[in-house]
Structure 1
Amino acid sequence: MFGLIGHLTSLQHAQSVARELGYPEYADQGLDFWCMAPPQIVDDITVTSITGQTIYGKYVESCFLPEMLASQRIKAATRKIVNAMAHAQKNGINITALGGFSSIIFENFNLQRITRIRNIQLDLQRFTTGNTHTAYIICRQVEQGAQKLGIDLNKATVAVCGATGDIGSAVCRWLDARTDTAELLLVARHQGRLETLQSELGRGKIMSIEEALPQADIVVWVASMPKGIEIDAENLKHPCLMIDGGYPKNLGTKIQHPDVHILNGGIVEHSLDIDWKIMHIVNMNIPNRQLFACFAESMLLEFEQLHTNFSWGRNEITVAKMEKIGEISLKHGFKPLALAV
């Protein structure tokens, strides 16, 4: 059995979803209540591969909200993640994906040091961040989106914003090794990590966002957008492909221009309907088919009986692992969300 640990995008979103899912006692409560709320299994999932194989899973709502970080309720945020992991393991889930902020919080706050939650000894082999599949899907979206827009990667400049993160660095490695991308622009906040990545790749120009955006034919966003940044579509190249790999997705509401094409990055579409209700509440266009690639990774590992933390740690994703998860993804009927032009 596979599991998905997720969270909602805001307090308001959480309240509306709680009401829809039949938890009225959660629906009218404020942030303090959500800081105390325990994880809940709120959905049972059935997925069938194009091979004919069927697997079963559960969605674990962590009750984490991004406002907990903004309001300095760090202890509550970290407790949410490890409690959700313990809840998944207690319920016999073999492989669980940490979705959204779950994996970021786990890594940034070094939560692997917490090995025991009450009477549960955490087995980290049962958990995966899903970042390898996400990185693979984003890279395929770059390749397919560029082709659709007539952007020649041999002549194109690609800016990766969040280049030193787990997903961002993997995207850079793929673009360097598997494509003939003409120029890579590396954008991130940590100068030392940027220099390390540049040295590893043997290429790439380190730039600020303001310097990189006007030069880029393709922009890959895999980091939270810096607070207060303004993007003027007139300063971007036309056409420009922007792949929004963040959560929640917000570039589409910030940039409106006919020659700037926004694609929701890290989203896959399954060939067959999935029996679940959770994707109806996170605004997928086709909720029975579309889902986050990180969630799909736990499904793929369950299909293949690879109950291991396939994606784990920071900057450990190799091109070979991306190729492997990509082959499994295609085998079972998943494909990258395509650009609608």
Structure 2
Amino acid sequence: MFGLIGHLTSLEHAQSVARELGYPEYADQGLDFWCSAPPQIVDNITVTSITGQKIEGRYVESCFLPEMLATRRIKAATRKIINAMAHAQKHGINITALGGFSSIIFENFNLSQVRQVRNVMLEFERFTTGNTHTAYIICRQVEQAAKQLGINLSEATVAICGATGDIGSAVCRWLDKRTDVAELLLIARNQERLQNLQAELGRGKIMGLEEALPQADIIVWVASMPKGVEINPAVLKQPCLLIDGGYPKNLGTKVQYPGVHVLNGGIVEHSLDIDWRIMSIVNMDVPARQLFACFAESMLLEFEKLHTNFSWGRNYITVEKMEEIGAASVKHGFSPLLI
């Protein structure tokens, strides 16, 4: 059995979803209540591969909300993720994906040091961040959407915003080794990590955001949007492909301009309908078939009976592992969302 640990995008979103899912006691509560709310299994899932194989899964709502980070309720945020992991393990789930902020919080607050959650000794091999599949799908979106727009990769400049993160660095490695992209622009806050990545790749220009964006034919955004930072679409090339790999995905509403094509990054479409209701709640355009690639990774690992933390830690994603999960993705009927 596979599992998905997720969360909603805001307090308002959480209240409306609680009402829709039949949890009226959650629907009118404020942030303090959500800080103490326990994790819940709120959906049972059946996925059928194009091979005919069927698997069962569970969706675990962690009850984490991004406002917990914004209002300095850090302990509540970290507790949410650890408790959701323990809840999944206690219910016998073999491999569970940490979706959205779950994996970021786990890494940034070093939650791997927390092994015991009440009477549950966490077995981290039961969990995956899903980042390898996400990185693979974003790279395939770069390749395929560029072709749709008539952008020749061999002549293109690709800017990666968040280049030193787990997904961003993996995208850089793939584009360097598996494509003929003409130029990589590396953008991130930590200069030391940028220099290390540049040395690893043996290429790539380290640039600031304002300098890099007007030069890019393709922008891969896999970083959080700093407060006060906005993209001026008028300075971007036309055509320009902007892949929004962040969460929540909001560049499509912030950047609207002729010739600038915004694509929701890290989203896959399944060939067959999935029996679930949770994706309609997170506002997928085709909820029976579309989902986050990180969630799909746990499904793929269950299909392949690879009950292991396939994606774990920071900056350990190799091109070979991306190819491995990519082959499983194709085999079982997943494809990248395109324009």
TM-score (norm 1): 0.99
For residues 148-167 of structure 1, the aligned pairs below 5 Å read 148-167=148-167
1:98 Cα deviation after fit: 0.1
> 1-side partners of 2:196 and 2:297: how far apart?
28
Structure 2 counterpart of 1:252: 252
RMSD: 0.4
Letter in 2 for 1:328: A
Deviations 1:71-127 (A, max 9, x none): 000000000000000000000000000000000000010000000100000000000
Deviates more, 1:221-230 or 1:106-115: 221-230
> 2-side partners of 1:107 and 1:231: how far apart?
28
- Say yes or no: does 1:228 pair with 2:228: yes
- Say yes or no: does 1:301 pair with 2:301: yes
> 2-side partners of 1:196 and 1:10: how far apart?
36
Structure 2 counterpart of 1:35: 35
Structure 2 counterpart of 1:322: 322
Structure 2 counterpart of 1:99: 99
1:257 Cα deviation after fit: 1.0
**How many residues get paired?**
339
Q: Once superposed, which parts of structure 1, at least 4 consecutive aligned residues long, lie more than 2 Å away?
A: none
Structure 2 counterpart of 1:313: 313
Letter in 2 for 1:286: V
- Say yes or no: does 1:184 pair with 2:184: yes
Letter in 1 for 2:158: V
1:232 Cα deviation after fit: 1.4
Question: Matched residues, percent identical?
Answer: 81
SS state at 2:313 partner: coil
Query: Which runs of 5 or more structure 2 residues have no equivalent in the other structure?
Result: none
For residues 30-109 of structure 1, the aligned pairs below 5 Å read 30-109=30-109
Deviations 1:191-222 (A, max 9, x none): 11001100100010011111110000000000
Structure 2 counterpart of 1:129: 129
1:258 Cα deviation after fit: 2.1
Deviations 1:16-52 (A, max 9, x none): 0000000000000000000000000000000000000
> 1-side partners of 2:37 and 2:253: how far apart?
31
SS state at 1:41 partner: strand
Letter in 2 for 1:129: T
> 2-side partners of 1:17 and 1:138: how far apart?
28
1:230 Cα deviation after fit: 2.0
> 2-side partners of 1:92 and 1:338: how far apart?
35
1:226 Cα deviation after fit: 1.4
> 1-side partners of 2:223 and 2:282: how far apart?
19
- Say yes or no: does 1:240 pair with 2:240: yes
Structure 1 counterpart of 2:20: 20
Letter in 2 for 1:200: E
Structure 2 counterpart of 1:331: 331
Deviates more, 1:219-228 or 1:130-139: 219-228
Structure 2 counterpart of 1:283: 283
Query: Which runs of 5 or more structure 1 residues have no equivalent in the other structure?
Result: none
Deviations 1:247-286 (A, max 9, x none): 1001011111120000000000000000000000111000
Letter in 2 for 1:191: Q
Letter in 2 for 1:324: E
> 2-side partners of 1:128 and 1:248: how far apart?
20
